Structure 1
C-alpha cells in the first residue's frame, strides 16, 4: 500500500462485518426457500453458466439492504449493474455462489458479501445456505464461524493435504485444469471439487480443507472468502495480485509446494 494511503481502521471493519453478516443471512434465507425448486432463466459465458430468478432476487435484496444500512455505497455484483456511490465504502456481492449446485439441489451453495474501504477489503461474510453456517472476518480481527474463532490447519506436507478446486466454464481452460489434476492427485491426500469458491476459501480458513486453488474465478467469487481464509491464518493469493487468473489459499507450510504443482 502506498505510504500516502491511510489504511482503513479496525473499527470500520468491525462495523461493516456486522452489516455483511446481517445482509448475507437475509439473502441466504431467501435463497434457502427455493433450494430444490429453482429453474434456469438464462445463461452467461457458456451454456453451462446458468442464472436463476433467485440469483437476481437475492442480489436485488442484498443491494437494497446494503444501501439502507450504508447509503451512498458502491456495489459491484454478479447479476445487476454496478451502483456507483460517493462515500468510499464498496461492496462486492455474489448472490448465489454455486448456482449449478443450487439448480441441481446439491448442498454446497452460499451467499458472499465483502466490504471495501478505499479499495481495501476490510470485512467479509459467507453464509452456507444449506448448513446455515456463517463465516465472517474483519481485517486484523481473525476469522469466525457462527461467531466462534477458527483457524487454518497447520498442515506441513502436501501429501497429507486435502485440496479443494473448481472448474472453469471454458472448455479450453478445463483441458488445462485436467492437466493440473493429473499432476496434483498423485502427490496430495485427495482432491475435492464442490462448486463454491467462497465456501472452499472459508473451509481453508477454518481447517476443513488444507488448500484450495481455482482459475478464472471472479472478484465476487473470492473477495469475502480471501479475507476469511487469510484472517484464519492461511496464505492467500488472488487473480488481482498474481495476474494469472488464479485463486489459491493454503496453510503456510504447503503453499509454495501447492503453487509449484499448480503452475507446473
Structure 2
C-alpha cells in the first residue's frame, strides 16, 4: 500500500534539530512500509516450509528461528542502504548508533511462538525515531493480510482506513489483552495479577504478539492492553499506532510505558486500568 494513504492531512514534518537534510515523517514511513513488507513476505514464504527453533533467549520456551534473524538482517540491510547514517535497534542484535538523529526500532517477527506453530498472529514491527521520539510506525501482519501504520500527529490507519479506539466507558465492560514472560518467576507473578484483574473486566485475551495487541486497541477490537517485560521493539510502532488512534499509553504513577509496565486503553478507562494494576502487591510488579 502507498504510504500516502496512511493518514489524511499529514504534514510530513519533524523537528529539524538544525539539520537541513532531516527527513519528514512521511518519507520515513514510506521506507518503513516498503521494508517491513519485504521482510514480512520473506518470513511468510519461509513459513511455507519447515520452521524450527534455532536457539533460545531468556528461557527454553523463548525461541528464535532462523527466519527471525533473516528478517532482521534484511531490514537492517535495506534501511542502511537507503539511509546509511541512521541508527538501528533490533530484537535479534542489530545495534548501530548512527549520526543522522534517526533510529529504526525493529522486531523482525513479533509473535515468534505463534509463527513457530503456524498461527497467523505474528508481524514485522518497524518504527522510526527522530531525536528520541517515535514519529512513524508500521506493523505488517502478512498471514493476516493487514498493514497498520501511523504518523505522529496525523493519525493511524489499517490498510489506509483511519482507526479509532473503542467507545467503552467502564472497565467491567472492557475486553483486555495481556501477555506473559518466559521465565517461571515472571509468569507466576503475572498469573497472580491476572487472577485479580479478570473479575474486574469483561474478559481477558492473550494472543501472543504485543504489536498486534496494541494495533487491536487502536482498531477498537480490544478495549485495553497491559503487559510487563516489553522491550522498545515490542511497543515502538504499535504504541504510536494506538496513541494516534486515540489511546492513552503509559505506566504506573504517571510514568511512561516501559519494561516495568506498558498500558494502552481509551481515555475513559485508562485511569481505571492503571488504578487496578497499581493496587497489586509490589511483588507482582517485579
TM-score, normalized by length of structure 1? 0.93
- Counterpart position of 1:20: 32
Q: Aligned runs of 1:161-240 on 2, under 5 Å?
A: 161-237=174-250
Native 8 Å contact 1:180 1:261 kept in 2: no
TM-superposed deviation, 1:69:
2.1
Native 8 Å contact 1:39 1:103 kept in 2: yes
Provide the rounded CA distance (Å) in 1 between the counterparts of 2:155 and 2:267. Answer: 16
Let me know the Cα RMSD of the aligned residues: 1.9
TM-superposed deviation, 1:34:
2.4
SS at 2:30's partner residue? helix
Ranges in structure 1 where 5+ consecutive residues have no aligned partner:
1-6
Provide the rounded CA distance (Å) in 1 between the counterparts of 2:257 and 2:32. Answer: 27
Native 8 Å contact 1:8 1:122 kept in 2: no
- Counterpart position of 1:91: 104
TM-superposed deviation, 1:85:
1.3
SS at 1:152's partner residue? coil
Provide the rounded CA distance (Å) in 1 between the counterparts of 2:28 and 2:224. Answer: 27
Is 1:112 matched up with 2:119? no
Change (3 A) 1:244 1:216: closer
Native 8 Å contact 2:231 2:259 kept in 1: no
Provide the rounded CA distance (Å) in 2 between the counterparts of 1:122 and 1:177. Answer: 31
Native 8 Å contact 1:8 1:120 kept in 2: no
Provide the rounded CA distance (Å) in 1 between the counterparts of 2:194 and 2:269. Answer: 17
TM-superposed deviation, 1:44:
0.9
Native 8 Å contact 2:230 2:259 kept in 1: no
Native 8 Å contact 2:249 2:257 kept in 1: no
Is 1:143 matched up with 2:156? yes
TM-score, normalized by length of structure 2? 0.86
- Counterpart position of 1:256: 271
Change (3 A) 1:25 1:77: same
Of the three residues 48, 51, 56, the one matched with 2:64 is 51
Ranges in structure 2 where 5+ consecutive residues have no aligned partner:
1-13, 17-21, 281-286
SS at 1:34's partner residue? helix
Provide the rounded CA distance (Å) in 2 between the counterparts of 1:160 and 1:57. Answer: 42
TM-superposed deviation, 1:70:
1.9
**What is the aligned length?**
259
- Counterpart position of 1:32: 44
Deviation digits for residues 13-42 of structure 1, max 9, x if unmatched? Answer: 121111111111111101111226211111
